[in-house]
Amino acid sequence: MKLKKQFADFYKEIRIDDETHALRDKREVLQADIKAKLPGILEDHDITINKSDIRLIDQGSYKYHTTIKADVVDRDVAVMIPLSTSDNTDTRKIKGYLRDAIDIPARTVVIKEPCVRASYYEDGKEWLHIDLPLYAEDGDSVFLARGKEHSSDYSWESADPEGLNDYLCEKINGNNQLRRIICFIKKWRNEKYSGSTSDHEIPPSIGLTLLACDCFSEQSSSEGDDDLLSLQKTMKGILDKFSYTFDGNGDLIRTISRSLPVTPYTDVFKKMKDSSSSYMTTFYNRLSKAVDNLTDAVNVESEHDAGEYVQKVLGESFIVPPKEAVAAQAQNKREHSFG
């Protein structure tokens, strides 16, 4: 099996097992602020909820341990309150109240389309943001507050954040190879999109995670898990899910869809598609290139050469093993040092 140790080392290098104390402290203070201040602010606007009615639900990659090292730590906590969506149709206002509850100098708070974001800076550089999607529990249904602060496009969208959590936890927890493959694919995405600034240009983590679960190919031999082969087959599987159409000029357009496995069953790539048709093409081309390199890595005999192909996909923190000729020569002429 090729590159077993290199993949193991690479995973060790990029993985984040759990929240740090620094992050947990920040999150807990933020959560306490929400519980302490949100009911009062809502009360000022004639909405009555109890502190104990507010539910804060851990979401995102930390929940199913597919977090990888990144420039900015990204944490997701759902804020769920009982609320009549028909009496409070303007989601922008409700999100504004949440913002007001947590807006203190220690953090920078902005309203984003799907959430309220609290960012933390040190020496002028953002190191953490905690995204707080706001959900209303209305009768038996749950709705996500969508819309930017000053946008005319806002709504309550029916949602099932806990259902999504359960779906992903069930798929991922206990499947270590899948977990690693998701981390590798996210790392590939971060490498290839490191220059991107626009949000919707970049394939979203949730989309990549769902596709990786769909296309995951478990690979192992007597020597243990074969992550190279698994990654190659899984990414190839995702690539094969792309379909194509022609645009007005007769040019080929690649596209992929994956709907949420829970309410509202919308396509996770919708925003990417709506923003620009070229985003999908770029996604396809980059993925295709990655699959080519991984296929070469699988097929080539030399472990060193295979490592170089993988490095093209996963970036320089993937360590290429030394050339066999050099390694073998050094091995033969190596002396055991004792003293």
Partner 1 sequence: MTAKEILESYDEITIGEQLCEDTLFFTLFEKQFLFIAPSRDDLSSGAEIYLYNDSFLDYPHILLRETNITEGKVLPKGTYRWVCLFEQDSIVNSILSYDEKIYDCIDRLIELLNMSSVEKEREFQKEFLYYWNSESIGDNSFQIYLDQDDQVAEMDVYFSKSIVRLTDSRIALSDIEETVKGERRWMHHIEKDAFFIPIKDCRGVLPPHRGYKWTAKDLHEIIYGKQIEHISDESFEKIKTLIPKTQDVLLVFGMRTETTNIAFALNMKCKNRVGHSLLEKILTDITAVEPMFTKRKDYSYLSEQIGNDIGAKRKKVLLVGAGSLGSYVALELVKNGFTYLKIYDDDTLTEENTLRWAYEGYGIGASKTQTLKIMLEWLHPQILIDSCNKKLDTESLTEELKDTDIIIFTIGNSDAQLKFNKVLNQQVFTKPVLYVWLEEGGLYSHILFVDYRKPGCFECLYTDTSGEKVNNRARKNTDLAAENGMIRNGCGGTRAAYGTSILLKTTAALLDTLHEIDRNKLTKNTLIDITPTRVGASDIIFPMEACNCCGNNAE
Query: Please, which residue, 148 or 304, has the CB nearer to partner 1?
Result: 304
Q: Which is nearer to partner 1, 120 or 216 (CB)?
A: 120
Binding mask 113-142 for partner 1 (x = CB under 8 A): --------------xx--------------
The distance in angstroms from the start CA to the end CA of the chain is 35
Contacts of 66 (CB under 8 A, 6+ apart): 172, 179, 182, 183, 186, 209
Rounded-to-integer distance, Cα 257 and Cα 242, Å: 8
CA distance 142 to 158: 6
User: Binding to partner 1 by residue 329, rule CB under 8 A?
Assistant: yes
Contact stretch for partner 1 (CB under 8 A) within 138-146, 214-222, 258-266, 321-329: 321-329
Task: Please report how close the Cβ of residue 185 comes to partner 1 at its closest, in angstroms.
Answer: 19
Question: Is 49 in a helix, a strand, or coil?
Answer: coil
Min dist CB 323 to partner 1, Å, is: 8
| Total chain residues near partner 1 (CB under 8 A) | 25
- Residue 104 touching partner 1 (CB under 8 A): no
Q: Which of 30, 34, 47, 73 binds partner 1 (CB under 8 A)?
A: 73
Choose one: 81-89, 207-215, 249-257, 325-333; the region binding partner 1 (CB under 8 A).
325-333
Binding test (CB under 8 A) with partner 1, winner from 322, 324, 327, 328:
322
Q: How many CB atoms lie within 10 A of CB 41?
A: 15
With b for 16 or more beta-carbon neighbours within 10 A and e for fewer, the 163-174 pattern comes to ebbebbeebbee
The single-letter DSSP state of residue 15 is B
Whole-angstrom distance, CA of residue 6 vs CA of residue 196? 28
Q: Which residues contact partner 1 (rule: CB under 8 A)?
A: 13, 16-23, 69-70, 73, 127-128, 316-317, 319, 322, 326, 329-330, 333-335, 337
